[in-house]
C-alpha cells in the first residue's frame, strides 16, 4: 500500500499534535476537570514517538528498546483517561492524586518486569519480528501474568466509559452534547481492546491512533480553542473586556468560568486574591449576603445591591440568572456583577445638594421642614422648635466683609451640629436664621435647653481670617406642644413670633411662644 510508506511520519505527526495539545492544556491544569488532561496528552505523545522509533529502527535490539519504552506511557494513559473523566464528572477530585499513586504501583511493577524479562521470562513467552503491510515491528507472546496486568489496566478504561455514560443521565441540556462527544470518542480505544483481536489487526502502533479521538474531543470540549473560528474569538474578546463581571457556576456551586472584571470584583468582596477563582466555590462569598445567598441556593433569579463590609463607597449590583429553563438545584447559575459605586456616589451627591445647605452643612429649609413634618412625638414627650439667628449679622458683613460673615455662619453651624447631632434635627431656614427641632419633657425643659444653647453661644468667640475675632450672640424663639394634631406650620408661626419678640426686647435672649392650636395645615415649602 503506497500510503503505508508514510506511516512512521503519521505517528510523528500524532506525537507532535498530542504534545501541542498537552502544552496548551497545561495552563488550565488548576481548572476543575482539566487537571490530568495535559498529562494524558503527553503520555499519548510519548506512545506515538516510541512507536515511530520502533518502526524506524534498523536492528532488533533497537526495536525492542523502543517497544519497551512504549509500555509505561501506554499503561499510564489508560489510568489517566480514568482520572480525566473522574475529574470531569465528579463533584470533587479530592483524594484522587493519592488514589492515582496507588493505581500506578502495578504499572511500575509491570514496566520493571518487562525491562528485566530477558532474565526471568515472566512477562513474555516469546519475542520476535513481525511485518504487516510493509511495517516491521516487535511481536510478543504475553504470559498469563502479563495478561493479568493488561486486564487490570483496561479496567480503568471501561470504568471511565461507565462514569461518563452515567453522567449523561444527569447532564444539563447545555452540557449533554459535550458529554456525548466525549463518550463516543472514548469508546474508540476501549472498544479496540475487543475489536482488534477479532478483526486481526496487528499493525504496529495502531493502538496509539485509537487514543487520538478521545484526546482531541477532550481538548475541544473542555477548552474549545477560540482560534478555531472568528465568532468564538470575538465572543471571548467581548467576555474578557466587559466592564461587568461574569461568573458561571455549575450545579455544585463551583466557578467554571469567570472574566477578568469579575475576578477583581470578587477580590474586593472577599478581601482576598487567590491564585485562581476557577474551581473555587461561590458559597462562602454568598453567605455574607443573606438574601442573595437564599435566592442563589434556591436557583431563583433576582437583582440585588450589595456593599462589601468595611469598604465604604463600594457598591455592586448583582443579577442572578438560571442557566436552565427548568430551574432545579442541579442547574448552574450565571452571576453578573455591575460596579454601581460611581452611580451611588453621584446619587448621594445629588441627594446632598438637594437636602443640605452648601455653606453650613445643615439641612436646607425645604428638607428641614419635610423632616420635621414626619417627626412623630415620642411617648410622653413633647415637641419643641427653636428658631434663632445671629444678632447684628449685617454689621459683621459691613465691618469685616461677607467672607467673615460666611465664617460666622459656618462656625455657628458647627456648634449646632456638635450640640444637636444625636438629639434633634437642625437646619438653616434663612440667611442667618437657623432652626432646631427636638423632643422635650415639657415647656420648662424646652426653655432650659434653649437658654443653655444661648449661654453657650454667648461665651463663644469666632476667629476670623486676618487675626480678627468676634463674639456672637443669638436671639431665640421657642414653641412647644404636646399635641399630635399640631402641624409644623403652627409651631413655626409661634416660634417665629417669639423670635421677633426676643429681638425687640434687646436681643441675646430666649422667648417662649404660646402653645400652638391645631388647625388645617398650610404648606410652607
Hey, what domains does the chain have and what are their CATH numbers? 2-224 (1.20.1070), 229-344 (3.30.450.20), 356-512 (3.30.70.270)
pLDDT of residue 130: 84
pLDDT, tens digit (0-9, with 9 covering 90-100), for 445-478: 999 999 998 988 887 788 887 778 888 889 999 9
pLDDT, tens digit (0-9, with 9 covering 90-100), for 102-142: 999 999 999 999 999 888 889 998 888 888 777 888 888 99
Nearest Cα neighbor of 502 from 479, 481, 474, 470 is 474
423 has a pLDDT exceeding 80: yes
3-state SS, residue 234: helix
3-state SS, residue 506: coil
Nearest Cα neighbor of 79 from 58, 101, 64 is 101
Find all residues with CB under 8 Å of 469, minimum gap 6, and list them.
Answer: 461, 462, 463
pLDDT of residue 33: 59
12 has a pLDDT exceeding 50: yes
Give the ranges where 228-259 is alpha helix by DSSP (H).
230-241
Q: Report residue 226's pLDDT band, with 50, 70 and 90 as the boundaries.
A: very low
* HEC-encoded secondary structure of 74-141: HHHHHHHHHHHHHHHHCCCCCCHHHHHHHHHHHHHHHHHHHHCHHHHCCCEEEEEEEEECCEEEEEEE
CA distances from 309 to 281, 288, 291, 424 (A): 20, 9, 15, 29
User: Which comes out higher in pLDDT, residue 525 or 249?
Assistant: 249
Q: Report residue 227's pLDDT band, with 50, 70 and 90 as the boundaries.
A: very low
Q: Residue 356 and residue 363: Cα distance in Å, rounded? A: 4
222 has a pLDDT exceeding 80: no
pLDDT, tens digit (0-9, with 9 covering 90-100), for 66-77: 999 999 998 998
Q: Report residue 523's pLDDT band, with 50, 70 and 90 as the boundaries.
A: very low
224 has a pLDDT exceeding 70: no
pLDDT of residue 462: 83
Q: Residue 381 and residue 483: Cα distance in Å, rounded? A: 10
329 has a pLDDT exceeding 60: no
Round the CA-based radius of gyration of the chain to a whole number and report it: 41
pLDDT of residue 164: 79
pLDDT of residue 230: 37
Q: Say what the pTM is.
A: 0.47
CA atoms within 13 A on the CB side of 173: 7
CA distances from 69 to 17, 139, 203, 315, 346 (A): 20, 15, 18, 60, 69
What mean pLDDT comes out for the span 91-96? 66
Nearest Cα neighbor of 261 from 246, 271, 273 is 246
- Give the end-to-end CA distance of the chain in Å, rounded to a whole number: 100
Proportion of the chain above pLDDT 70, given as a percent: 84
Amino acid at each position: 500500500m503506497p500510503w503505508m510508506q508514510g506511516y512512521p511520519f503519521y505517528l510523528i505527526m500524532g506525537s507532535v499534535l498530542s504534545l501541542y495539545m498537552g502544552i496548551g492544556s497545561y495552563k488550565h491544569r488548576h481548572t476543575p476537570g482539566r487537571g490530568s488532561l495535559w498529562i494524558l496528552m503527553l503520555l499519548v505523545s510519548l506512545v506515538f514517538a516510541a512507536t515511530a522509533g520502533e518502526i524506524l529502527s534498523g536492528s532488533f535490539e533497537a526495536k525492542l528498546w523502543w517497544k519497551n519504552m512504549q509500555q509505561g506511557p501506554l499503561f499510564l494513559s489508560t489510568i489517566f483517561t480514568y482520572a480525566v473523566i473522574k475529574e470531569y464528572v465528579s463533584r470533587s477530585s479530592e483524594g484522587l492524586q493519592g488514589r492515582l499513586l496507588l493505581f500506578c504501583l502495578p504499572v511500575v511493577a509491570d514496566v520493571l518486569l518487562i525491562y528485566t524479562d530477558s532474565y526471568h521470562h515472566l512477562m513474555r513467552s516469546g519475542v520476535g519480528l513481525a511485518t504487516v503491510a510493509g511495517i516491521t515491528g516487535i511481536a510478543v507472546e504475553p504470559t498469563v501474568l502479563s495478561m493479568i496486568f493488561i486486564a487490570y489496566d483496561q479496567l480503568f478504561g471501561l470504568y471511565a466509559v461507565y462514569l461518563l455514560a452515567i453522567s449523561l443521565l444527569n447532564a444539563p441540556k447545555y452540557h449533554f452534547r459535550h458529554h456525548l462527544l466525549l463518550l463516543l470518542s472514548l469508546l474508540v480505544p476501549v472498544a479496540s481492546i475487543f475489536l482488534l483481536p477479532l478483526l486481526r489487526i496487528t499493525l504496529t502502533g495502531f493502538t496509539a491512533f485509537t487514543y487520538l479521538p478521545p484526546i482531541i474531543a477532550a481538548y475541544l470540549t473542555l477548552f474549545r480553542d477560540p482560534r478555531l473560528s472568528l465568532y468564538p474569538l470575538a465572543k471571548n474578546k467581548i467576555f474578557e473586556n466587559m466592564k461587568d463581571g461574569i461568573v458561571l457556576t455549575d450545579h455544585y456551586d463551583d466557578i467554571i468560568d469567570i472574566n477578568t472584571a469579575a475576578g477583581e470584583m470578587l477580590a474586593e468582596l472577599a478581601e482576598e486574591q487567590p491564585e485562581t477563582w476557577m474551581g473555587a466555590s461561590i458559597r462562602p462569598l454568598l453567605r455574607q449576603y443573606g438574601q442573595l445567598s437564599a435566592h442563589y441556593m434556591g436557583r431563583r433569579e433576582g437583582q440585588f445591591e450589595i456593599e462589601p463590609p468595611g469598604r465604604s463607597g463600594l457598591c455592586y449590583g448583582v443579577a442572578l440568572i438560571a442557566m436552565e429553563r427548568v430551574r432545579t438545584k442541579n442547574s448552574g447559575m450565571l452571576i453578573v456583577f455591575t460596579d454601581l459605586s460611581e452611580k451611588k456616589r453621584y446619587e448621594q451627591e445629588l441627594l446632598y445638594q438637594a437636602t443640605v445647605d452648601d455653606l453650613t452643612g445643615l439641612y436646607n429649609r425645604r428638607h428641614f421642614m419635610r423632616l420635621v413634618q414626619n417627626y412623630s412625638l415620642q411617648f410622653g414627650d413633647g415637641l419643641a422648635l427653636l428658631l434663632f439667628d445671629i444678632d447684628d449679622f449685617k454689621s459683621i458683613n459691613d465691618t469685616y466683609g461677607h467672607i467673615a460673615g460666611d465664617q460666622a455662619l459656618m462656625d455657628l453651624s458647627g456648634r449646632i451640629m456638635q450640640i444637636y447631632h444625636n438629639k434633634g434635627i437642625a437646619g438653616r431656614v434663612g440667611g442667618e436664621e437657623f432652626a432646631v427641632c427636638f423632643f422635650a419633657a415639657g415647656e420648662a425643659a424646652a426653655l432650659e435647653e434653649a437658654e443653655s444653647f444661648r449661654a453657650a453661644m454667648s461665651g463663644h468667640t469666632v476667629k476670623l481670617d486676618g487675626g480678627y475675632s468676634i463674639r456672637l450672640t443669638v436671639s431665640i424663639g421657642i414653641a412647644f406642644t404636646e399635641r399630635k394634631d399640631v402641624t409644623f406650620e403652627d409651631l413655626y408661626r409661634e416660634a417665629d413670633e417669639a423670635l421677633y419678640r426676643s429681638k425687640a426686647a434687646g436681643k441675646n435672649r430666649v422667648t417662649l411662644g404660646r402653645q400652638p392650636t391645631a388647625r388645617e395645615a398650610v404648606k410652607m415649602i
